[in-house]
Amino acid sequence: MSSNQDISKLVDGITSDPATWTNTSLISVTQLTPSGLDLLMNTSTQMRNLVKDQGGDDRLKHRVLASVFYEASTRTSCSFQTAMMRLGGSVIHVDCGSGGNTSSKKGETVSDTIKCLQCYSDVTVLRHPITGTVPDAVLNGGLQKPVINAGDGVGEHPTQALLDLFTIVDELGSGMDNGNDIEPLTVVMVGDLKHGRTVHSLAKLLARAQFGFLKRPLVLRYCAPDSLKMPNYVKAYVDEFGKRQGFEIIQEECGSIKDAMKNANVLYVTRVQKERFEKEQDYNAVKGAYVIDADLMKEAPEKMIVMHPLPRVDEISTDVDSDPRAAYFREMENGLYVRMAILALVLGKA
Ligand code: NCD
């Protein structure tokens, strides 16, 4: 099997042509064009129907996924493993967290470990705590088979952003469903926007999706403590992408969640990422800065959904869980369908 892992694929390489997916590593949301998003979202919906109707099928029979995690995970690793199994494939899961019980403890490089596992498997799902490790392994590691980025330090988490986009459209519609409604999509991102790779990928993906896929203007509101603000490079990407398309994407900083929630469609909450702080006192200074609870939800728009990549610590109180606007567990379920679609497309069996 030859692989499509050249650098040009990292920008705009993935379209509605299934050949652009086959054997292609998925490293960044910047790879996806609007038509590629259309194909992925439609395939994800088919996967949901498949699971609901008959549990799955055998299209990935005799295919093996190597699931390689150098950092903690519950949802991403388990949903990818389940996705593979529901399509008839098999999984080898390698837990390399702090070296785990693997050869990384003996000093083996990430590229060598992946190269070795690719001798046994057809596709690799890789998470690593050091930003840049996943793209570096793909672009410079001499790998032969596709790798899917399952979280690259504080960089990107593209499959989370894709399941988030699927959830937004599933919950709210694409914006043109009710005729010519061009109300903006207003997404409030709350919490640790500095270290949160999910919000980095989601902001970029929403910018890319704005008119091509979502067909409505975009407003992004950022709500974070001063030390955890959305990085300028992400905001600059969003801004430049909008301008290149000839549309301004409004990005606003908001101190108060109450203000930020006005006319919002999505409240996307994130955890303060304790493990990314060098000093515990810096974490203690910002932990608990924003908490969503049932009282706050009384002031939220009637149709605004609450999302969270999970795990949560204390930033969404459990008294919100029974609110129909709490979409975070539906979001998690969607992760299975979107990851089934990604695996099927990358392995040429969609
Ligand atoms: C996120 C991650 O790992 O970036 N979790 C996930 O994949 N669902 C968010 C987090 O850890 O806070």
The whole-number pLDDT of residue 283 equals: 94
**The model's pTM:** 0.96
Active-site residue 127, yes or no?
A: yes
Give the position, in ligand 1's atom list, of the atom nearest the Cα of 72. 3
- Which of 93-97's residues contact partners 24+ apart within 8 Å by CB, and which partners? 93/67, 93/69, 94/66, 94/67, 94/68, 94/69, 95/69, 96/68, 96/69, 96/70, 97/69, 97/70, 97/71, 97/72
Q: Ligand 1, closest atom to CA 127?
A: 3
Which residue has the CA at smallest separation from atom 1 of ligand 1? 309
Q: Are 222 and 230 in contact (CB under 8 A)?
A: yes
Q: Is the CB of 149 under 6 A from ligand 1?
A: no
Distance, in Å, from the CA atom of 174 to the CA atom of 216, rounded to the nearest integer, reads 8
Does 75 participate in catalysis according to the annotation? yes
Q: Which atom of ligand 1 is nearest to the CA of 76?
A: 7
Q: Is 198 in the pocket of ligand 1 (CB under 6 A)?
A: yes
Distance CA 77, CA 89 (A): 15
Averaged pLDDT in 10-residue chunks for the chain of 350 residues:
56 94 96 95 98 98 98 96 98 89 85 96 98 95 96 97 97 66 89 98 95 85 97 97 90 96 97 94 92 98 97 97 98 98 98
Q: List the beta bridge partners of residue 219.
A: 186, 250
> Residue 2's pLDDT is what?
47
> Is 121 close to ligand 1, i.e. is its CB under 6 Å away?
no
Pocket test for ligand 1, best of 167, 198, 314 (most atoms within 8 A of CB): 198
Which member of 62, 106, 279, 298 is catalytic?
106
Task: Determine whether the shortest distance from the Cβ of 334 to ligand 1 is under 6 A.
Answer: no
Q: Alpha-carbon torsion 156, 41, 126, 25, what sign?
A: negative
**271 Cβ below 6 A of ligand 1:** yes
Structure confidence at residue 131 (pLDDT): 96
* Catalytic annotation, pick one of 22, 59, 75, 325: 75
Looking at ligand 1, which residue's alpha carbon is closest to its atom 11?
A: 311
Give catalytic status of residue 93 as yes or no: no
What pLDDT score was predicted for residue 179?
Answer: 52
Residue 102's contacts (CB-CB under 8 Å, 6 or more residues apart) are 94, 95, 96, 108, 113
Q: Is 157 in the pocket of ligand 1 (CB under 6 A)?
A: yes
**Cis peptide, bond prior to residue 311, ω within 30 of zero:** yes
How confident is the model at residue 181, as a pLDDT? 58
Q: Which atom of ligand 1 is nearest to the CA of 270?
A: 12
Which of 9, 48, 115, 157 is an active site residue?
157
